[in-house]
Structure 1
Amino acid sequence: MKVTTIAIDLAKNVFQVLGMTAEAKKVYNKRLNRAQLKELLCNTPACIVVMEACYSSHYWGRTAQQFGHTTKLIPAQHVTPFVRGNKNDSNDALAIFEASSRPNIRFVPIKSESQQEVLMMHRIRERIIKQRIACTNQARGLLVDFGIVFQQGFSAFERNMWDIINDSEQRPLLRYLVNQVYDDYLQMTKQLKGLNKLIKQKVEQTEAGLILLSMPGIGHVIASAFEACIDKGQAFNSPKELAVWLGLTPRQYASGNKSKIYGITKRGDSYLRKQLIHGARTVVCHAHKKDDALNQWITQLKARIGFNKATVATAHKLARIMWVLLRKQVLYQAQAGKIVEVTECAR
């Protein structure tokens, strides 16, 4: 029997591989190690390979494509409802196959190594930011017990830490420990500046990056993360689908004649959504200084529903416009005149 679909339940070293025919009949369901899985993909005639979009899935997706297979990655939350019986690798592989045959499943595009390098930079950058904040907070908290209190902000932190280190009246052990903390802080700051410089260089080298940078409120970090996550937006049929994936649309609960709308769903990539909201906050803060259609809309929205809700709505608007610009491959141009023109452009 000819295998037309291979469903793989991924892991680190051991993989459950299910081979199915076009009539949905099982040919094999076996456990393989990394070398055996590569050998199977190499020796199997071109077919469809389906996996969950999870740990190492993009690597194995690229590997399967190199051997001539058509690879599809399924969001993990869409596989769970198809698991029958006990939770084990064999049933998981079967659930992946069943989920792949559903007509309304939206598959995840396979990311290139270049995209994953950029995302890796963002993950490392996020970790360093958290560690640097933790370092400063710990130092501030510990120094309060010695009666040393200084203003918030990194500039004040650097200035006061340097004063303590060079204050001969302070206890020697205290000065030594403060010096250790300050060295850690300086090292993390240096790493962060290096990553920011690298992100800026990478995003300015691509056409999509330059398109995104033309948007208001979109800096190098947001443009880089957006491009690495969705590429040119080819996975979405409309800007509305992108906004839903980002979790920037309201959460609905409807039953019968009753329908309730709650806050945003917060689905999708939380890091990208956070960065978009940070960028939108800057746009909302300065919207009253400009008279183009987008900023007029933001100013009226802020007056009607408040600053925070207007910020999230602006992030939603910016994401939709970014999708349109990437699909059309054109730079952003502020629309003068009526607000309706911007609304039509964002659709």
Structure 2
Amino acid sequence: MTLLLMKPTSAGKDTQHERDQTLKKLACVSNQWGALLTIGLDLAKNTFQVCGVGEHSTPIFNRKLKRSQLVQFFAQQPPTTVVMEACYSAHYWGRELAKLGHQTKLIPAQHVTPFVRGNKNDHNDALAIVEASRRPHVRFVPVKSDYQQEILSLHRVRERLQRNRTSLVNQVRGILSEFGVIAPLGVKHLRAKLAHVIGDASCSQGLRNIVANAYVELLDTEQRIEDIEQRLNAFLDEHPCRDIIMSLPGVGLINASAFLASIDKGQAFQSPREFAVWLGLTPQLYASGDVHRMGSITKRGDRYLRTLLVHGARAALSRARNKTDALSVWGNQLVQRRGYNKAVVAFAHRLARLMWILLQRNECYQPQPVLEACQG
């Protein structure tokens, strides 16, 4: 009988020596990368997949790298094009790889899915990212700066605080109704009612304690929302396009700060229609032969930005009933023909186009008379 003695291996993560050996192997392969054109990077938390492709979409390598190896690996490569999906941590890695001299491109995830061949795994995903990036007419997502991501993070925090405030207000109203206390609609009236209940000696001490805790929580939440809005206002004051985007009807502090932090001056889009398509405000088209049918809007792109623009259009359209400018008259006529809700979405689509045009021209919005609009 022959006994095979195997060298014991350490369980757990790879040792530093093993990681160094992996990078050395990749460095040896990199000497043969004369025709390397694109590197596809499939992002993750700890284990990343890198796929190098040469001419004619020929894969040169496709393997995994640990998070601790990624920066060192790209630092050893000559400047090239690195393509990633526009997803979790993509903007961070886009900035880090740009510091190393690489040209980083972010591609929307929905454009990658049709190119995944075989089973769904990191190997095939990295190759699909490269193949999708080489298609003509693919629009890449611009890499956001640290400051832009900070502003958008403030929007996400504010949205969560608003949901918490709505939940708190509904819960307190339900509790008070069980004791026969009904507050008028509106947070302002509820706040006054809570202060009245706290000082009402006819109410039980237990109820007054519950209301007092809710009152403190409500004030704290509103103060945090106000602090965020002050920071957003400071961001707008520093942006050169503040007056341009704020001149549009239905665009205020929240809409303006969110759009400027996301698209800046709209330089990533070639036309106003492309910007509206990116927001998901264009109708779906079904065309086959002689059949052409338009459906509901696509709802692609950033849902938060689209929601803000639709709400802004609803506010602008509700105040356009007695106005005589071309945009208001067009919106009022559309309400009569297609109904209020459809007119709101169409109005938001028109606002998106106007936003891109004004940002490109560096001009503020000026209401146009109806006669001039008809002659144009």
TM-score by length of 1: 0.94
CA distance in 1, matches of 2:373, 2:365: 17
Establish whether residue 220 from structure 1 lines up as the match of residue 253 from structure 2: yes
CA offset at residue 341 of structure 1?
5.9
Give the match for residue 126 of structure 1. Answer: 159
Establish whether residue 274 from structure 1 lines up as the match of residue 307 from structure 2: yes
**Correspondent of 1:327 among 360, 371, 375:** 360
Structure 2 counterpart of 1:126, which letter? E
Structure 2 counterpart of 1:266, which letter? K
Secondary structure of the corresponding residue to residue 241 of structure 2:
helix
Q: Report percent identity of matched pairs.
A: 48
Structure 1 counterpart of 2:216, which letter? D
**Correspondent of 2:97 among 31, 55, 64:** 64
Secondary structure of the corresponding residue to residue 149 of structure 1:
coil
CA distance in 1, matches of 2:247, 2:373: 21
Give the match for residue 371 of structure 2. Answer: 338
Structure 1 counterpart of 2:282, which letter? T
Give the match for residue 228 of structure 2. Answer: 195
Structure 1 residues 314-336: Cα deviation after superposition (integer angstroms, max 9, x where no partner):
11111100100111111212222
CA distance in 2, matches of 1:22, 1:45: 16
Secondary structure of the corresponding residue to residue 155 of structure 2:
helix
* Contact 1:292/1:337, CA 8 A, preserved across alignment: yes
**Correspondent of 2:208 among 165, 175, 188:** 175
* Contact 1:115/1:228, CA 8 A, preserved across alignment: yes
Structure 1 residues 6-49: Cα deviation after superposition (integer angstroms, max 9, x where no partner):
11110112211112223433332222122311111111101010
CA distance in 2, matches of 1:143, 1:290: 43
Give the match for residue 313 of structure 1. Answer: 346
* Contact 1:204/1:210, CA 8 A, preserved across alignment: no
Structure 1 counterpart of 2:226, which letter? K
CA distance in 1, matches of 2:136, 2:338: 39
Structure 2 counterpart of 1:142, which letter? I
CA distance in 1, matches of 2:297, 2:108: 20
**Correspondent of 1:164 among 170, 192, 197:** 197
Structure 1 residues 220-258: Cα deviation after superposition (integer angstroms, max 9, x where no partner):
111111111111112211111111111111122233322
231 and 193 in structure 1: CA distance in 2 versus 1, 3 angstrom threshold = same
Structure 1 counterpart of 2:312, which letter? G
* Contact 1:217/1:283, CA 8 A, preserved across alignment: yes
Structure 1 residues 73-102: Cα deviation after superposition (integer angstroms, max 9, x where no partner):
110011111111221111111111111111
CA offset at residue 339 of structure 1?
6.1
CA offset at residue 296 of structure 1?
2.0
Structure 1 counterpart of 2:139, which letter? R
* Contact 1:251/1:264, CA 8 A, preserved across alignment: yes
Give the match for residue 73 of structure 2. Answer: 40
Structure 2 counterpart of 1:326, which letter? L
Structure 1 residues 75-131: Cα deviation after superposition (integer angstroms, max 9, x where no partner):
001111111122111111111111111112211111111111111111111111111
CA distance in 1, matches of 2:247, 2:237: 11
CA distance in 2, matches of 1:278, 1:106: 27
CA offset at residue 308 of structure 1?
1.9
* Contact 1:294/1:334, CA 8 A, preserved across alignment: yes
User: 5+ unaligned residues in a row in structure 1: which ranges?
Assistant: none
Structure 1 residues 289-322: Cα deviation after superposition (integer angstroms, max 9, x where no partner):
3222222222222232222222111111111001
Secondary structure of the corresponding residue to residue 289 of structure 1:
coil
CA distance in 1, matches of 2:249, 2:215: 36
